[in-house]
Amino acid sequence: MPPNLEEIQFNFRRAKEALDKMTQAQTGQDLRDAWEDFLIFYARTMGKLISAGKNASESKPWAYRLLAKSVKDDPGLFYLREARNVAEHGLTPFADFREPHVNVGGILVAECPVENVTIFPNGVNSKLDRSGALTLSASGGKVTNTNKPKSPLIKEVPASLNLKSVTNEDNGKTADVPKSLNGVHLKDDAPRTLAQAGIEAMEGFIAEYQGHF
């Protein structure tokens, strides 16, 4: 077995578990916890893989090439590295998180539980016009009760996590949300897309490391 492979694989498994948790997350806090765990364990996997590679003559040149990709040459890997640094050491949010909510035509946005709120054509709880009133209760981003379940005004919006550029406060480097990772174009800027690309790339890196022995 190549040196330190067991420790590398342990942290890689934790990164994959974090990606699974992102897929299952129901709240903004769950998403934040899962994304932060992914960044941390992905960075640990990368760091241990590079260190192990540098310590063996068979893989040393390869390890330095991977280090260069991680710290500057690959936009996706660079972003994951810097996002992890900001998550652990920064004082500003490293992504935008929002809890699930119910949006009723832009008139009412319910992020907290609401009970029997009545919405009229010209506003919430207005006494000026009672025709076409819509009443609803909502909790956790879901409508729990309404007199108009098929109303096109009602939209249940799931929890969301939006990536943004991150700046390392120690060296001033800014990493923009990447369009590619390890040469693979990302179809969108969703964090799950970036994380999945990172997982697939890491599987290849670990296989390359093993191939040197």
Same domain, 106 and 85: no
Exposure string of 145-171, with b = 16+ CB inside 10 Å and e = fewer, is ebeeeebeebeeeebbbebeebbbeee
Same domain, 32 and 76: yes
| Predicted confidence (pLDDT) at residue 89 exceeds the cutoff of 90 | no
Domain region containing 132: 100-157
Q: Specify the higher pLDDT residue, 124 or 17.
A: 17
The model's pLDDT over 7-37, given as tens digits with 9 standing for 90+, comes to 999 999 999 999 999 999 999 999 999 999 9
The model's pLDDT over 125-155, given as tens digits with 9 standing for 90+, comes to 544 445 568 888 999 899 999 988 888 889 9
Same domain, 24 and 128: no
Same domain, 46 and 113: no
Same domain, 70 and 20: yes
The model's pLDDT over 46-77, given as tens digits with 9 standing for 90+, comes to 999 999 999 999 999 999 999 999 999 999 99
Name 85's Cβ contacts closer than 8 Å, sequence gap at least 6: 166, 168, 170
Task: Give the tokens for residue 165.
Answer: 């550029």
Can you tell me the distance from the alpha carbon of 63 to that of 154, in angstroms, rounded to the nearest whole number?
53
Same domain, 32 and 122: no
CA angle 49, 50, 51 (to 5 degrees): 95
Residue where a domain stops, chosen among 115, 131, 157? 157
Same domain, 17 and 85: yes
Q: How confident is the model at residue 171 (pLDDT cuts 50, 70, 90)?
A: confident
Q: What is the pLDDT at residue 61? A: 97
Residue where a domain stops, chosen among 157, 178, 195? 157
pTM for this one?
Answer: 0.85
* CA-to-CA separations, 200 to 149, 192, 193, 194, in angstroms, rounded: 42, 12, 11, 10
Q: What is the pLDDT at residue 131? A: 56
| Predicted confidence (pLDDT) at residue 124 exceeds the cutoff of 70 | no
| Predicted confidence (pLDDT) at residue 194 exceeds the cutoff of 60 | yes
Q: What is the pLDDT at residue 75? A: 98
Question: How many structural domains are present in the chain?
Answer: 2
Can you tell me the distance from the alpha carbon of 212 to that of 175, in angstroms, rounded to the nearest whole number?
32
Q: What is the pLDDT at residue 129? A: 44
Q: What is the pLDDT at residue 28? A: 92
| Predicted confidence (pLDDT) at residue 38 exceeds the cutoff of 90 | yes
Same domain, 11 and 93: yes
Task: Give the tokens for residue 56.
Answer: 């063996």
The model's pLDDT over 97-112, given as tens digits with 9 standing for 90+, comes to 999 999 988 877 888 8
